[in-house]
Chains A and B, each alone.
Chain A
Amino acid sequence: MKTRSITIYVNGEAYSLNVAVNRTLLQVLREDLGMPDTKYGCGTGECGACTVLIDGKKSILACLSLAVLMDGAKITTVAGLETEGKLHPVQEAFVNEGAIQCGYCTPGMVMKSVSILAKYPKPTEEDIRRELEGNICRCTGYVKIVQAIQKAGDALASTC
């Protein structure tokens, strides 16, 4: 087949599309759905700028996912993290800890951080650094990003 009809759920909304089989989820999100919040950084799986979540917690790379094989998938992008205009604790922590400089890696970095905390509710610094691999930041040296994830973890833990 050269095209396929799919329905994907992005940030809670259903989108039904007819997509060419060679289009990645990244292209579909950014171009077909007009959602540029997920970024292209390298296209080959190294930089993590295109990181989105499946089922709210599993991190995958949109640049290496064929959109037509994501039928039925429940995808969260960074634009879907806010609830009623209130930032997600990870977003809040990134802002407050100064973990954002140029902001280009931020969408992928935030999504990855959410997935890290979903798996490791009380992560050690080693857990955080190890799990952050696959998301490249060239501005921060990762210092304040690690601090932000620790703070977000504390915040999430205290609201449980």
Chain B
Amino acid sequence: MSEFSVIGKRLPKVDAQEKVVGRSVFAADLDLPGMLYGKIVRCLKYAHAKVTKLDLSEAAKVPGVVKVLAPGDVSSKEYNTGVLDLLVPMGDLADQYLFTGWVKHQGDAIAGIIAKTEEAAERAAEKVIVEYEPLPVYLTAEESMKPDAIQFHPEKPGNRACTLPDQMPNNAYGWGDVDEAFKNADIIVEDTFYVPKVKQCQMEPHAYVALYDDRGRLNCWTSTQMPKLVQAKLSRFFNLPMNQVKINQTTVGGGFGSRLGMVAEPETCAMAMAVRGRPVKVQYLREEDWIASESRHPGKYWMKMGFKNDGTPVACDAKFISYKGGYYTHGSGVVFTTGSWLIGMYKFGACRYKGETYYTNQAPSGAYRGYGNPQTNWAMEQMVDRACAKLGIDPVEWRLKWHKAVGDDSSILGMPYKSCGLDACLNEGAETFGWKEKRQRYANQLGAKRRGIGVAVMNHCSNASPFLLEHTACTIKMNQDATAEVISNCSDLGTGGHTALQQIAAESLGLRMEDVHMKVQDSDAAGFDIGAHASRTVHMGGWAIIEAAEKVKATILERAAKHFEINVEDLVINDKKIHPKGSPDLFIEMKTICDQGISNFVDFSTGKTIGVPGQIVEHSSHFAAHNAPPFAATFVEVEVDTETGELKLIEAVTAHDIGRAIHPPSVEGQLEGGFQQGAGMAMMEETYYDKNGLCLNSNFTDYKMLGPSDMPKVKIILVEEPDPVSPYGAKSCGESGLVTPTGAVANAVFNAIGVQISEGPITPEKILMAIKEKDGAF
């Protein structure tokens, strides 16, 4: 028997019905009166070039074309599509333009076309006359940091877009003296890992509609993850007061960080500004996704670890040099966070992390689920297993012994962990997976097909504090019938966020699910919220709701106390009725109180006041007092065909320290989906470029992801040890699922073939090469 009425229930998601009948509205589904179609003209020929000639006159003549936009039209201001500049003062750079004369990556926007039909805009784009002066192309940090390289921005010498702040000694963070500590190591493992440029590949292609209406309001329909921040950005960019910018957040068809900020809202809104009164719709082609929206930060992750013979971890030194792509965007973000999950994981005697990111001529690197954690997992977990193999220590046993836990400094130095379910994750996960038995069974294999097992662990976060601004506001408005409107700007990316928040609202208000309506996706209505990132929605959205709900209940109790003429402490709320303790039959209904407050507060026969006049509307602003890092362990079994290098996933178990699963199917779903992305990153996903920086696989034909037949059996274990500082004890799960599969798959391959492959993704080509180099000693 659950202690909760709706928390923890496996109920259908609140948006499932409209999605399953195809009636949920994505931005591309909008059809507004008088709508025009915008086409962003991009440089497809070069990855780095100056535009020497741009002639839009022929394009403008194509029948159906309404307007053409060149660089400088509507606005020549710089902007930054990321949002970190609104959340933390880290000197983020605004270096992007609506339409550019200096192409910094294939896919950069050089002009805009507005037409009456999509086809007319497309035909007009073909008539754009453009000439370029090609520039040298830099595809790695090593290339762009060379002294003679073209400088992408005058404020970033050496093309280093970002490094750790100067306030940190040696631009590094960690603890202890690693150089000294290494001297005490019995063994040292060291390597440089290559992290590929992987793409979110959300199923909804980017699409926008914008309208600059007759009241001078800029309305933008977008599936951004961060509606209030985008409102602020567009307000600044177009010099409009905030109340003149309206963001209608459409159904988000997958985010994964691809929409953590803006993508093409600026261009679409600029087009709308150019044709006042007419909505303009811009729809991305799938093939534009890889070349004109952000990816994970790829790069080289150097790591060195020292251990005693008994496994004691004495030191860890790490540096992640990432490739930023053509523009700054999230430059200050991943460079920093990548190390936080490294330092938060194990009890090294000393630890040091450095991060840098360098401009390259590719679509910018930005936010992708995990935000540096998958990169860390990929390197860190492989290094640990390398050491365990050398020392003859079981990888699960080592992790059980040496992971950080309650009381240890977390991923945020100076803030200790308040909860940690990792022991349960490792133990239950190992048990379910059959770790010990499989380790024995696979210890001595013969034959061409080899099985291998691997484990990886992680810690993540449940909001972005204390690094970034953390604030979520919520208003709860009670209708006459005691149904509630919960007004919030929290986003649901398909994650189940709105469902979980509605559950939290219902539970904390003492109402049923159907008594609560989430008024979301409207920047006019709701107060501030950062948006969906840092896996913060349940934590921050949840607390904001709970705080507002507590105020609602307090007001209701106050009014009931007045009605019963007793003290508030002597009353209980139960099943939408308020009654004195011990006298359940003597009650006043919640709806009576609400109704009296709105329209029935006068007795017309006597003229006397009934109840307490005033609609019950309560507001909260929640600032994160805490972070609540979740932990997890993933176990993977693989099979390697040693004759061909082919890699097959056999089984996976992820045990996640969720604290409390508000909506268990959504938690499972997030972890299952995260596995598909994390294992994909480990095995087959990468964006490839030719030597001129032109993308070779900007399509699903050649950007391969795990499909239904590639996925193994996946079992999710939810470890529920309620977290003391989280709403109903719930920690996050949104990003976590992607993190551990990267390390676990790599470690399973290592176990199968005895060789580690440090360059991701681990393809059959690399496996076979590794096997051959080992002289096929099987």
| Contact surface of A with B, Cβ cutoff 8 Å | 30, 34, 36-44, 46-47, 49, 77-79, 81-82, 87, 91, 94-98, 100-107, 110, 128-130, 132-133, 136-146
- The residues of B that contact A96 with a CB separation of less than 8 Å are 12
Nearest A residue to B255 via CB reads A102
C-alpha spacing A137/B204, complex, angstroms: 10
- The residues of B that contact A102 with a CB separation of less than 8 Å are 202-204, 251-255, 493-494
- The residues of B that contact A44 with a CB separation of less than 8 Å are 286, 699-701
B607 contacts chain A at the CB level, 8 A cutoff: no
Segment touching A, from B187-195, B663-671, B742-750: B663-671
- The residues of A that contact B201 with a CB separation of less than 8 Å are 136, 138
Known: A46-B699, A101-B495, A102-B254. A139 touches B673 (CB 8 A): yes
Option from B22, B25, B29, B669 in Cβ contact (under 8 Å) with A139: B669
- Contact in complex: A101, B22 (CB < 8 Å): no
**26 residue pairs A–B, Cβ–Cβ below 8 Å:** A34-B31, A37-B22, A37-B23, A41-B203, A41-B204, A43-B286, A44-B701, A78-B22, A79-B23, A87-B21, A100-B20, A101-B666, A102-B253, A103-B16, A106-B20, A132-B708, A136-B707, A138-B254, A138-B256, A138-B705, A139-B254, A140-B672, A141-B674, A142-B708, A143-B714, A144-B669
- The residues of B that contact A129 with a CB separation of less than 8 Å are 708-709, 711
Number of A-B pairs whose CB atoms are under 8 Å? Answer: 174
- Contact in complex: A141, B676 (CB < 8 Å): yes
B28 contacts chain A at the CB level, 8 A cutoff: yes
B774 contacts chain A at the CB level, 8 A cutoff: no
- Contact in complex: A136, B204 (CB < 8 Å): no
- Contact in complex: A98, B13 (CB < 8 Å): yes
- The residues of B that contact A105 with a CB separation of less than 8 Å are 203
Known: A36-B29, A136-B707, A138-B202. A103 touches B19 (CB 8 A): yes
Nearest A residue to B493 via CB reads A102
- The residues of B that contact A77 with a CB separation of less than 8 Å are 22
- The residues of A that contact B76 with a CB separation of less than 8 Å are none
Nearest B residue to A131 via CB reads B708
- Contact in complex: B714, A106 (CB < 8 Å): no
Besides A101-B666, A129-B711, 8 new A-B residue pairs in contact (Cβ under 8 A), listed by A number: A36-B22, A47-B203, A98-B668, A102-B251, A110-B20, A130-B708, A138-B203, A141-B706
Nearest A residue to B677 via CB reads A138
C-alpha spacing A47/B701, complex, angstroms: 9
Known: A37-B22, A41-B286, A106-B19. A133 touches B203 (CB 8 A): no
| Contact surface of B with A, Cβ cutoff 8 Å | 10, 12-13, 15-26, 28-29, 31, 200-205, 251-256, 283, 285-286, 493-496, 665-666, 668-670, 672-677, 699-701, 705-709, 711, 714
B549 to nearest A CB, angstroms? 26
Instruction: Give 5 nearest A-B pairs by CB, closest first.
Output: A102-B494, A37-B22, A103-B19, A98-B665, A104-B253
Option from A79, A98, A104 in Cβ contact (under 8 Å) with B21: A79
Q: Which of B19, B20, B31 has the most CB of A within 10 A?
A: B20
- Contact in complex: B20, A94 (CB < 8 Å): yes
Known: A40-B205, A46-B701, A104-B254. A133 touches B707 (CB 8 A): yes
Q: B-side binding surface: helix, strand, loop or mixed? A: loop
A41 to nearest B CB, angstroms? 6
Option from A42, A97, A132, A143 in Cβ contact (under 8 Å) with B286: A42
- The residues of B that contact A36 with a CB separation of less than 8 Å are 22, 25-26, 28-29, 31
C-alpha spacing A3/B495, complex, angstroms: 44
A94 to nearest B CB, angstroms? 5
A81 to nearest B CB, angstroms? 7
- Contact in complex: A103, B21 (CB < 8 Å): no
- Contact in complex: A37, B21 (CB < 8 Å): yes
- Contact in complex: A87, B708 (CB < 8 Å): no
- The residues of B that contact A97 with a CB separation of less than 8 Å are 665
A66 to nearest B CB, angstroms? 15
Nearest A residue to B652 via CB reads A141
Option from B283, B286, B709 in Cβ contact (under 8 Å) with A130: B709
- Contact in complex: B711, A141 (CB < 8 Å): yes
A3 to nearest B CB, angstroms? 13
Option from B23, B203, B670, B714 in Cβ contact (under 8 Å) with A136: B203
B13 to nearest A CB, angstroms? 7
Known: A46-B699, A100-B19, A129-B708. A141 touches B675 (CB 8 A): yes
- Contact in complex: B673, A101 (CB < 8 Å): yes
Option from B204, B675, B705 in Cβ contact (under 8 Å) with A104: B204
- The residues of B that contact A133 with a CB separation of less than 8 Å are 707-709
A130 to nearest B CB, angstroms? 6
- Contact in complex: B12, A139 (CB < 8 Å): no
B668 to nearest A CB, angstroms? 7
- The residues of B that contact A38 with a CB separation of less than 8 Å are 22
- The residues of A that contact B711 with a CB separation of less than 8 Å are 129, 141-143
Nearest A residue to B20 via CB reads A91
- The residues of B that contact A37 with a CB separation of less than 8 Å are 21-23
Known: A130-B709, A136-B707, A141-B711. A103 touches B24 (CB 8 A): yes
Q: Which of A41, A132, A141 has the most CB of B within 10 A?
A: A141
- The residues of A that contact B706 with a CB separation of less than 8 Å are 141
- The residues of B that contact A110 with a CB separation of less than 8 Å are 20
Known: A41-B286, A44-B701. A139 touches B21 (CB 8 A): no
Known: A34-B31, A41-B203, A46-B701. A78 touches B672 (CB 8 A): no
A1 to nearest B CB, angstroms? 17
C-alpha spacing A42/B203, complex, angstroms: 9
Q: Which of A38, A82, A87, A142 has the most CB of B within 10 A?
A: A142
C-alpha spacing A38/B18, complex, angstroms: 13
B231 to nearest A CB, angstroms? 22
Known: A94-B16, A95-B12, A143-B711. A82 touches B21 (CB 8 A): yes
- The residues of A that contact B701 with a CB separation of less than 8 Å are 44, 46
C-alpha spacing A130/B708, complex, angstroms: 7
Nearest B residue to A105 via CB reads B203
A84 to nearest B CB, angstroms? 13
- The residues of A that contact B13 with a CB separation of less than 8 Å are 95, 98, 100
